[in-house]
Every structure is written in structure tokens, then in C-alpha cells.
């Protein structure tokens, strides 16, 4: 059986220098994530959760250390290759969904597919299926600004998943939603992990969502440790 981790951070360091201090967010930190695992990253504000998520998602680069995806070093990729890599392998969901206003739900969900160069017809079908999957089949032609907050976040999840990425990264995906909508999104993430075998790493303050994940991690003295 192939037990290559989906993600490996080896000896990763990342610090920021402010006017008053140097912040060692990660210091020679290690992390290994198996395919299909679900992980919550917890911890106090400013501890470095988003920084860690951004490094895993190649949106930020460590100062030193290695990042491997299925055993392959990816930090050496140029920007173009990295963008294509992200498009094919990683879906992102943020607290604020960054949907394109003025466009319909299905147009928003199609976007990653159009960037990938797939045929419009194929990607439209995938996008409509994904919107069905997040129970927005009756809303595919709605402009996103006419949808509720919870519906908009489900459109964002459909967009993150339309390329069937191996890895879904979510930063406070329900931070902006009421309890009922939050619970619906939590269940959806768990179901998608079960159905698609998708690996999920989520930054959250929400204990319900953290409790649904396989592992809970936090940062301590620059290391990634069990929460």
C-alpha cells in the first residue's frame, strides 16, 4: 500500500519582522498529513494559523525548510507552475467568500475550470453538479449577491471543489455564518470528505467543526503540536 503523505512540512521556519519585534511563527516545524485525513488548526488569535495554512497552500513561502506534496518538492516551482499546481490540486475557502459580484452562482463555480483550460461544456456540467451537491440546484442562475450568506458560502465551497482537488484548505469557513448555516457547512465538509476522500485542513475557532475533524493541531514555540 502506498503510504506517501499528501503533505509534508520538514523543518519549516517562517518569521515576520515588525517595527517592535521579530515574530518566529514557525521554527523548524514538521507536519505530515495522510491522504483523506481531516485536520483542524486551533489556537489564539495571532498564533500563526493562517500563516501555516497559507504555507501548506503555497500562497506563502517558508523562509527555510521543505514542503512536499505526494513526496514531490514544490517550493522550487516558478509562479506559473505553482498556480497550475494549485488549480489542479488545492481548493480554498475563506471566511469572506470572494465570489464575483454580478455573476451567477454557476459562473462563479465554473471559474477554476475555465482557468484550467477544460471545455466550457464539461466545466458547466461539473459546476452545476457541484451546486446540486451543496443543495443549491435551484439557485444556479441566481446572481451571488441575491443569495443569503450561508448560500454564498456554499457557492464558495462548490467553487473550491469543482476541480475535485485532493486537498481542501479552509480558513474560518463559518466565521461569518449563524449557527444553523454553520452546522450545515460543517456537515457538508464532513460528507464531502467521506464521499470524495478529500483531505481537509481547516482553521477554526468553532469547537463543533474542530470536533468533526480526525486531528486537532495548534502552534507552540514555533512547532506544530496536538491541540
Ligand X SMILES: Nc1ncnc2c1ncn2[C@@H]1O[C@H](COP(=O)(O)OP(=O)(O)OP(=O)(O)O)[C@@H](O)[C@H]1O
* C-beta of 35 vs 175, nearer to ligand X: 175
Q: Which of 206, 199, 202, 195 is nearest to 217 (CA)?
A: 202
Tell me how far, at minimum, the Cβ of 117 lies from ligand X, in Å. 32
Tell me how far, at minimum, the Cβ of 86 lies from ligand X, in Å. 19
Tell me how far, at minimum, the Cβ of 87 lies from ligand X, in Å. 23
What gap in Å lies between CA 146 and CA 152, rounded to an integer?
9
Contact between residue 173 and residue 189 where contact means Cβ atoms under 8 Å apart: yes
Sole residue written with cell 475550470 = 113
Tell me how far, at minimum, the Cβ of 202 lies from ligand X, in Å. 12
Question: Which triple of cell numbers denotes residue 157?
Answer: 465551497
Question: Which triple of cell numbers denotes residue 26?
Answer: 514557525
Q: List CB contacts of 12: < 8 A, sequence separation 6 or more.
A: 26, 28, 29, 30, 31, 55, 62, 64, 65, 66, 67
Tell me how far, at minimum, the Cβ of 82 lies from ligand X, in Å. 18
What gap in Å lies between CA 140 and CA 128, rounded to an integer?
7
* C-beta of 55 vs 166, nearer to ligand X: 55
Collapse the DSSP code of 186 into the 3-class scheme (helix H, G, I; strand E, B; otherwise coil) and give the result.
helix
Tell me how far, at minimum, the Cβ of 45 lies from ligand X, in Å. 3
Question: Which triple of cell numbers denotes residue 137?
Answer: 440546484
* C-beta of 23 vs 68, nearer to ligand X: 23
* C-beta of 47 vs 82, nearer to ligand X: 47
* C-beta of 158 vs 219, nearer to ligand X: 219
Binding site for ligand X (CB under 6 A): 16, 23, 25, 43, 45-51
**CB atoms < 10 A from the CB of 225, how many?**
12
Cα angle for residues 17, 22, 27 (degrees, 5° grid): 105
* C-beta of 50 vs 104, nearer to ligand X: 50
Amino acid at each position: 500500500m502506498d503510504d506517501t503523505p499528501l503533505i509534508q512540512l520538514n523543518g519549516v521556519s517562517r518569521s515576520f519582522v515588525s517595527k517592535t519585534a521579530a515574530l518566529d511563527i514557525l521554527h523548524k516545524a514538521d507536519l505530515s498529513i495522510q491522504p483523506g485525513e481531516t485536520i483542524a488548526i486551533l489556537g489564539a488569535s495571532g498564533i500563526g494559523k493562517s500563516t501555516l495554512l497559507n504555507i501548506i497552500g503555497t500562497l506563502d513561502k517558508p523562509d527555510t525548510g521543505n514542503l512536499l506534496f505526494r513526496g514531490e518538492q514544490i517550493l522550487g516551482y516558478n509562479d506559473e507552475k505553482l498556480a497550475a499546481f494549485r488549480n489542479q490540486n488545492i481548493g480554498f475557502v475563506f471566511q469572506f467568500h470572494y465570489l464575483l459580484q454580478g455573476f451567477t452562482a454557476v459562473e462563479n463555480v465554473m471559474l477554476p475550470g475555465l482557468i484550467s483550460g477544460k471545455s466550457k461544456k464539461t466545466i458547466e456540467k461539473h459546476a452545476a453538479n457541484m451546486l446540486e451537491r451543496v443543495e443549491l440546484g435551484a439557485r444556479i442562475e441566481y446572481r451571488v449577491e441575491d443569495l443569503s450568506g450561508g448560500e454564498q458560502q456554499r457557492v464558495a465551497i462548490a467553487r473550491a471543489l469543482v476541480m475535485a482537488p485532493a486537498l481542501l484548505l479552509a480558513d474560518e469557513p463559518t466565521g461569518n455564518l449563524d449557527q444553523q448555516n454553520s452546522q450545515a457547512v460543517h456537515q457538508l465538509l464532513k460528507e464531502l470528505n467521506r464521499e470524495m476522500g478529500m483531505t481537509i485542513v481547516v482553521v477554526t475557532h468553532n469547537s463543533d467543526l474542530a470536533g468533526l475533524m480526525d486531528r486537532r493541531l495548534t502552534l507552540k514555540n514555533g512547532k506544530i503540536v496536538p491541540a
